[in-house]
Amino acid sequence: MSPRTATALAHPNIALVKYWGKRDAALNLPAVPSLSLTLDGFATTTTVRWGAAADRLVLGGVERGAAELRKVSRVLDLVWGGPGRPAAEVTSENNFPTAAGLASSSSAFAALALAAAAAADQPLDRARLSVIARQGSGSACRSLWGGFVEWRMGERADGNDSHGLPVAPADHWDLRLVVAVVSADKKAVGSTDGMTRTALTCPLFPGFVSSAPADVDQARAAVLARDLHALGAAMERSTNKMHATMIATEPTVRYWKPVSVAVLDAVEAMRASGLACYSTMDAGPNVKVLCAAADAERVAETLRGVPGLLRVEALAPGGDARLVG
């Protein structure tokens, strides 16, 4: 077979209503529905070349080992969809920190699924690519689309109805997510380990699961109505419940650092002074702050005054994952 190559670019997404917990760990089927915003500015660019001697993953110029390669090979198997799959070489670059709570796995597996399918001439629709990307990393199923994206849990045991669904495109609403980078280090507890531990040991977890659909309903309605207060309230409720379950896990899964809390305090103070901004955190110490585009510079400037932050950046809603070569 002659080598066939394609390159795709995908943006990471940040959950406004969180996914935490799996109802099927092998297939990455979620215990809860979730809703996200895809971000412009941050991106993963991935090239897949079918016809290598063996599967390889080179991420950020560094050859990766068996654990990371296994997930990539699984996505390649699913894209190829049958026997006789050739090996592939995967080369990937992030223009932002990897595995530090900035959702690098979401853009990574979305770009991988899209590039692999194009290079293999597989005419897979976006919902199918989303199902495949989900099996690399759950949140990746939302990064096939830009703007606001919902991930419904689905009902089927094979997971083929558990994929992203676009709610509104990037240009629907001129919001910003101001990203406050507390640390660019790789997280100590990966999301899969953290979720498994939470589901097994946290007595609060059933409450997180049973209350999540109402948060998604509120967030979806707020997006469609462009109601920042209602969206911010659903987002903060979801993030606080998720982190409460993480903290009450044994052993605890605590991603917050003192600087993270200082940013949360600064957001509360800005809101008390009349500035509409709302915070969220994921599986890492970084804080993301949602606000109107017109307020983003004021929010970013205030956060730049919080001692200890590495970087503050306002990101606009991003577009669909796309082929770039």
Residues that bind ligand PMV (CB under 6 A): 15, 18-20, 34, 105, 137-139, 191-192, 282-283
Question: Closest distance between ligand PMV and the C-beta of residue 215, in Å?
Answer: 12
Q: With respect to ligand PMV, which residue has the nearer C-beta, 136 or 296?
A: 136
Question: Closest distance between ligand PMV and the C-beta of residue 294, in Å?
Answer: 27
Q: What is the DSSP letter of 178?
A: E
Segment holding 115, helix H or strand E: helix 104-119
Question: Closest distance between ligand PMV and the C-beta of residue 31, in Å?
Answer: 11
Question: Closest distance between ligand PMV and the C-beta of residue 15, in Å?
Answer: 3
Q: With respect to ligand PMV, which residue has the nearer C-beta, 34 or 73?
A: 34
Q: Are the C-beta atoms of residues 38 and 9 closer than 8 Å to each other?
A: no
Side chain identity, residue 25: A
Q: With respect to ligand PMV, which residue has the nearer C-beta, 119 or 181?
A: 181
Q: For residues 263 and 207, what is the distance between their CA atoms, to the nearest angstrom? A: 27
Q: How far is CA 302 from CA 189, 196, 261, in A?
A: 30, 37, 15
Strand order across the beta sheet in which 4-10 lies:
62-63, 56-59, 87-94, 44-52, 4-10, 322-323
Structure tokens at 191: 């999301």
- Which among 125, 135, 196, 148 is positioned nearest to 15, based on CA atoms? 148
Q: Are the C-beta atoms of residues 107 and 44 closer than 8 Å to each other?
A: yes
Question: Closest distance between ligand PMV and the C-beta of residue 123, in Å?
Answer: 26
Question: Closest distance between ligand PMV and the C-beta of residue 37, in Å?
Answer: 11
Q: With respect to ligand PMV, which residue has the nearer C-beta, 133 or 267?
A: 133
Q: With respect to ligand PMV, which residue has the nearer C-beta, 138 or 285?
A: 138
Q: Are the C-beta atoms of residues 291 and 176 closer than 8 Å to each other?
A: yes
Q: With respect to ligand PMV, which residue has the nearer C-beta, 8 or 212?
A: 212
